[in-house]
Amino acid sequence: MNKNLVSADYIVFIIYFVLVASYGIWIYRRKRKAVTDTKDFFLAEGSLTWWAIGASLIASNISAEQFVGMSGEGFFAGIAVAAYEWIAALALIIIAVWFLPVYLKNKIYTMPQFLKTRYNETVALVMAIFWLLLYVFVNLTSILYLGAVAINGLVGGDNLHAIMIGLAVFSLLITLGGMKVIGFTDVIQVGVLIIGGLATTYLALTVVSESFGLGKDALAGFNALMKDAPEHFKMIFHKPTPASSQLEVDKYLVLPGIAMYFAGQWIVNLNYWGCNQYITQRALGANITTARTGILFAGFLKLMMPIIVMLPGIAAFVLYKNGHLQLTDGRKDYAYSAVLGFLPAGLKGLSIAALTAAIVSSLAGKVNSISTIFTLDIYKKYIKKDADEQKMVWTGRLAVVISMFVGILFTWKDVLGIGGQGGFTFIQKYTGFISPGVLAMFLLGMFWKRTTATAAVAGLITGFGLSVFFNELAPQVMGHETFLYTAYQTQEIIDGAAQTVWRIPFLICMGLAFLFTVIVMVGLSLAGPKINPKAFLLDREMFKVKPATLALIVATLAILMGLYVKFW
């Protein structure tokens, strides 16, 4: 395994950089006349095609969280982690058919705007602040940290901070051109990350094949994985018993078997894809047909993402277990970069380009969403109400730069402890603190006319409070075994030392918080009018889909069903 880069690697990476930068400049100059228009800058209104929307959704979603974090979970737990990707495909169908028409009919451009339109200014302001904090201190920091760790692990040496700054600067160059530049350059980014990701997976499987004396045969390598690590090809983990090993317990805490499909897995995906400015922003500037097709195209692509981001982690596990791979401290977040070390000259450069494409596109989309929420929902409404279009665009650009600087500041020495928990778990867990309340507000706000603003505020507070309670306090307060949950012992690094703690699987915590949040919101809303004056007007025609759209939905469902039948 060789971490040294050669001229061919640099040439491949430079070609990627020049291609993306040149295309971004061309798009920016072509649309330069609209540079002072806020809807164009933040939403690229009316100019993104269905394939650009779908590609941009995937490019923004697939980042270091997946390449590093999900690959690490593949190393640790196996194919069960693919549930995040495969259930996302199903969630995107729900978003395209039922959520999107509500947004577009009511001309919703930001998620706080949805809350203001359906509830009131207070709900919108509180959530705008929540989202900004989440995007900056959880998402932005984790993308920067995991991305820098992955690339640094591949190139070798101690270049973590330099790589972090390079990723930030590259993403800023794209972001300052607005959503239109982000959307169309993401088409190149997603192409690079898919091609580079598939090449990495193919070569990882051939390395496994060679290690088992089967020649350079990727299919033989895949079969060797299934034979050598059959436990890594099970989608559903059984609930631990007193006889279960600590490893089985730790896996269940991250992916709690069939229970997660009745709890947090749906909350994670519906909240992320349907109530998230970072994601929905790509579709809100298009018409219903274009937006739906783009979202469903993204869902179709999600089905293949585990091949790219998870399978290399399983390959790393088998190689590591059989003594063919060295892994820094045995840490799962280093699995992907360790596998990349086997790549030959040129392909290593392509893999770095694929990683960079995933990281940069996610950073660009994230900071654009931060600037959109800050500019449209805070600056324009509460700081400078008379700001003109040009002033708002430049305020948005300033917000982009500041948020990136803050992200680097908190990531510089991993102040938030992202590396200690594993990047993927860190993001899912802390995003899950507000997901139950947010999803409850959106679902009841869209589809139940009786939901009140008081219930929305109470739901947000209840969802957050219960998430913290079940994740951090419930085992000590309510005991380790109740009719609601089972808590398990595990080891965690706290204040630099390993300590034994009791934990409920965080996806179960999320489901419990959501359940009680809905109960609270329904109870409070029943005390209000039968129809809230701010309720959305819905009709069946909004939710009808065209035959071509239905065909894409059926194809996605058929593939998804086949995958679960195979790996259940």
Mean pLDDT, rounded, of the chain: 81
Model confidence pLDDT, tens digit, residues 35-47: 445 555 555 455 5
d(C-alpha 403, C-alpha 207), whole Å:
41
Q: What is the pLDDT of residues 1-14, one digit of tens each?
A: 445 667 777 887 78
Asked if residues 436 and 267 have their Cβ atoms less than 8 Å apart, the reply is yes
What does the CA dihedral 463, 124, 107, 174 come to, rounded to 10 degrees?
-90
**Looking at 43-52, 132-141, 317-326, which range is the least confident one?**
43-52
Asked if residue 405 has pLDDT above 70, the reply is yes
Strand partners, 500: 491
- Tell which wins on pLDDT, 417 or 102: 102
Of the pLDDT bands very low, low, confident and very high (cuts 50, 70, 90), residue 450 is: very high
Q: How confident is the model at residue 23 (pLDDT cuts 50, 70, 90)?
A: low
Tell me the C-alpha distance between 81 and 236, whole Å. 10
pTM here?
Answer: 0.80
Strand 488-494 and strand 497-503: pairing? antiparallel
Instruction: Please report, for residues 269, 310, 382, 407, 422, the alpha-carbon distance to residue 145 in angstroms, rounded to integers and kept in the order given.
Output: 23, 19, 33, 9, 11
The position carrying tokens 């692990």 is 153
Distances (CA, A) of 269 to 194, 206, 359, 391: 22, 33, 20, 35
Is the predicted pLDDT of residue 531 greater than 80, yes or no? yes
Q: pLDDT, tens digit, for every residue of 134-180?
A: 888 877 887 788 778 777 766 766 777 788 888 888 777 766 555 55
How many helices (H) and strands (E) the chain has is answered by 29, 2
Q: Is 84 exposed, middle or buried (CB count within 10 Å of its CB: 0-12, 13-18, 19+)?
A: buried
pLDDT at residue 97 tops 70: yes
* Most confident stretch, 1-5, 161-165, 429-433, 521-525: 521-525
| Section 109-136 average pLDDT | 84
Q: What is the pLDDT of residues 340-385, one digit of tens each?
A: 777 777 777 777 777 777 777 777 777 877 888 888 778 888 787 7
pLDDT for position 91: 93
Residue with the larger pLDDT of the pair 70 and 261: 261
Is the model more confident about 427 or about 264?
264
> How confident is the model at residue 386, as a pLDDT?
77
User: Given this model, what pLDDT does residue 1 score?
Assistant: 45
Does 215 have pLDDT greater than 90?
no
Q: How many CB atoms lie within 10 A of CB 173?
A: 17
The CATH code of domain 7-27+35-416 reads 1.20.1730.10
Helix or strand holding residue 502 (H, E):
strand 497-503
pLDDT at position 511 is 93
Our CA angle for 399, 400, 404, nearest 5°, is 110
| Residue 423: predicted pLDDT | 56
Question: Which has the closest alpha carbon to 356: 13, 103, 12?
Answer: 13
Tokens of 447: 């589809």
pLDDT value, residue 146: 76
Q: How far apart are CA 400 and CA 26, in angstroms?
A: 21
Higher-confidence residue of 522 and 264: namely: 522
In one letter, which amino acid is 377? Answer: D
- Please answer whether residues 393 and 201 qualify as being in contact, where contact means their C-beta atoms are separated by less than 8 angstroms: no
Evaluate if residue 549 carries a pLDDT over 60: yes
pLDDT exceeding 70 applies to what percent of the chain? 83
Angle 209-212-213 from CA coordinates, rounded to 5°: 85
Q: In this structure, what DSSP letter does residue 486 have?
A: B
Phi-psi region of 323 (alpha: psi -120 to 50; beta: other; left: phi over 0): left
Q: How many residues does the chain have?
A: 568
Amino acid at 145: Y
Predicted confidence band of residue 553 (pLDDT cuts 50, 70, 90): very high
The pLDDT, as a whole number, for residue 522 is: 96
Residue 510 to residues 217, 343, 439, 507, Cα–Cα distance (Å): 42, 40, 11, 5
Can you read off the two tokens belonging to residue 204? Answer: 């990882």
Rounded CA gap, 154 and 251, in Å? 27
535: which residues sit within 8 A by CB, 6+ positions away?
Answer: 118, 449, 450, 451
Q: What is the pLDDT of residues 267-308, one digit of tens each?
A: 989 988 888 766 666 676 678 888 899 899 989 888 888 888
How many other C-beta atoms lie within 10 A of the C-beta of residue 49? 15
Sequence spans of domains, the chain: 7-27+35-416
